């Protein structure tokens, strides 16, 4: 937003100078129209930047649990450090809670499928029974060796449901399909996590390189503005050239901030995806 405001001010000054030059015959009306178009575009970009900044502050307030964020933001973005992400860094997905949950789901579905296999086998039960013959009021439990007759029975019983209309088979097929779906989801999530990790790792390295490059651009832009102002005092440079140098400087500063934010975002995502291997 600061860069967009600086561009708007610079182009407004450009437009004022262009109209003065047109009146003095220094440039044609075509040059004025070109600066007017740039100025209008810069104003539109400024409105978008202000809206984006306002929405970002609201999102920040929501993430912090605040009803309104009226406090100013202080501090600077961290400088990208290439040593923060070693080249040999790899994610440890087994330490991530979401992957552990998926693995437990696969195990549970596997046990459910195996349990349904029992419906295809006969159900076997064992039993034993002993009966005493009782005569009158005499209770053989009091005198078990009195010689009163009794009978014992030991046996096994098997039941097998062969005519269920395919219900057990359908349940087993459903459980097998659910288990396979969970396995496919786990494998897909692993591949996606590895791909995302590699992408964010490359993006972090790109962010570091981009930060270094834009830092050099910023230093050159600062030197260009200094030389342009000295040239303006000496009469060798026009106001328009000074304004162009100042606009390049504001854009260089915005580019440097974007490179820092991109690298920091990549680092945070790597910490999230690494499973605790990156601190």
The H-or-E segment that residue 102 falls in is helix 97-116
pLDDT at 226: 92
176 is in which domain, residue-wise?
81-121+167-279
pLDDT at 135: 57
Which whole number is the average pLDDT over 26-49? 87
Residues 94-117 have pLDDT tens digits of 888 888 899 999 999 998 888 887
pLDDT at 148: 59
My answer on whether 206 and 227 are in the same domain is: yes
Question: In this model, does residue 44 exceed pLDDT 90?
Answer: yes
pLDDT at 46: 94
Q: Alpha carbon of 74 to those of 46, 71, 77: distances in Å? A: 22, 9, 10
Tell me which residue of 205, 207, 208, 210 sits closest to 252, measured CA to CA: 210
pLDDT at 137: 60
| Cβ–Cβ < 8 Å for 11, 35 | yes
pLDDT at 177: 93
Which whole number is the average pLDDT over 230-259? 86
Signed CA dihedral, 250, 255, 260, 266: sign only: positive
My answer on whether 243 and 135 are in the same domain is: no
My answer on whether 20 and 148 are in the same domain is: no
My answer on whether 222 and 270 are in the same domain is: yes
My answer on whether 233 and 276 are in the same domain is: yes
Q: Alpha carbon of 184 to those of 100, 105, 187, 188: distances in Å? A: 15, 12, 5, 6
My answer on whether 104 and 203 are in the same domain is: yes
My answer on whether 115 and 132 are in the same domain is: no
Question: In this model, does residue 151 exceed pLDDT 60?
Answer: yes
Average pLDDT, the chain: 85
Residues 197-225 have pLDDT tens digits of 999 999 999 999 999 999 999 999 999 99
My answer on whether 243 and 186 are in the same domain is: yes
Q: Is the pTM of this model over 0.95?
A: no
Tell me which residue of 225, 214, 204 sits closest to 255, measured CA to CA: 214
pLDDT at 262: 92
HSE-CB for 216 with a 13 A CA cutoff: 5
Which whole number is the average pLDDT over 29-39? 85
pLDDT above 90 as % of the chain: 32
Torsion region of 277: left, alpha or beta (phi above 0 gives left; psi -120 to 50 gives alpha): alpha
Could you count the other beta carbons within 10 Å of the beta carbon of residue 253?
Answer: 18
- 143 versus 277: which is more confidently predicted? 277
Q: Which of 39-53, 137-151, 226-240 has the lowest mean pLDDT?
A: 137-151
**Calpha distance 93→193 (Å, rounded):** 8
Residues 156-172 have pLDDT tens digits of 988 877 777 777 778 88
Total domain count, the chain: 3
My answer on whether 191 and 240 are in the same domain is: yes
My answer on whether 11 and 134 are in the same domain is: no
The widest CA-to-CA distance across the chain, in whole angstroms, is: 140
Last residue of a domain, one of 45, 75, 105: 75
pLDDT above 70 as % of the chain: 91
| Cβ–Cβ < 8 Å for 10, 243 | yes
My answer on whether 204 and 276 are in the same domain is: yes
Q: Which of 127-136, 188-197, 214-223, 243-252 has the lowest mean pLDDT?
A: 127-136
Residues 60-80 have pLDDT tens digits of 888 888 876 667 777 888 899
pLDDT at 113: 87
pLDDT band at 145 (very low <50, low <70, confident <90, very high): low
- 120 versus 183: which is more confidently predicted? 183
My answer on whether 105 and 225 are in the same domain is: yes
Residue that has been written with the tokens 């651009």 in this structure:
217
Which whole number is the average pLDDT over 121-146? 70
Q: What is the DSSP letter of 25?
A: T
**Calpha distance 279→271 (Å, rounded):** 7
CATH number at residue 203: 1.20.1600.10
């Amino acid at each position: 937003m600061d860069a967009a405001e600086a561009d708007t001010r610079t182009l407004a000054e450009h437009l004022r100078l262009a109209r003065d030059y047109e009146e003095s015959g220094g440039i044609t009306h075509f040059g004025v129209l070109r600066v007017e178009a740039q100025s209008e575009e810069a104003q539109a970009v400024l409105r978008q930047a202000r809206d984006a900044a306002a929405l970002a502050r609201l999102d920040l307030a929501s993430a912090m649990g605040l009803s309104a964020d009226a406090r100013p933001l202080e501090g600077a973005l961290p400088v990208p450090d290439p040593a923060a992400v070693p080249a040999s860094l790899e994610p440890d997905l087994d330490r991530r809670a979401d992957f552990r949950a998926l693995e437990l789901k696969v195990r549970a579905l596997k046990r459910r499928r195996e349990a349904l296999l029992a419906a295809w086998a006969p159900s076997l039960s064992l039993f034993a029974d002993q009966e005493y013959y009782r005569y009158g009021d005499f209770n053989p439990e009091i005198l078990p060796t009195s010689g009163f007759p009794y009978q014992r029975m030991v046996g096994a019983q098997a039941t097998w449901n062969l005519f269920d209309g395919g219900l057990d088979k359908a349940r087993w097929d459903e459980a097998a399909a659910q288990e396979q779906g969970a396995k496919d989801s786990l494998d897909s999530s692993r591949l996606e996590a590895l791909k995302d990790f590699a992408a964010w790792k490359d993006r972090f390295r790109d962010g570091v390189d981009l930060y270094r490059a834009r830092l050099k651009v910023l230093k050159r832009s600062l030197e260009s503005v200094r030389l342009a102002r000295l040239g303006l005092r000496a009469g060798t440079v026009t106001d328009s050239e000074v304004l162009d140098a100042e606009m390049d400087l504001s854009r260089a500063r915005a580019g440097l901030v974007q490179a820092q934010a991109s690298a920091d975002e990549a680092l945070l995502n790597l910490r999230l995806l690494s499973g605790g291997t990156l601190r």
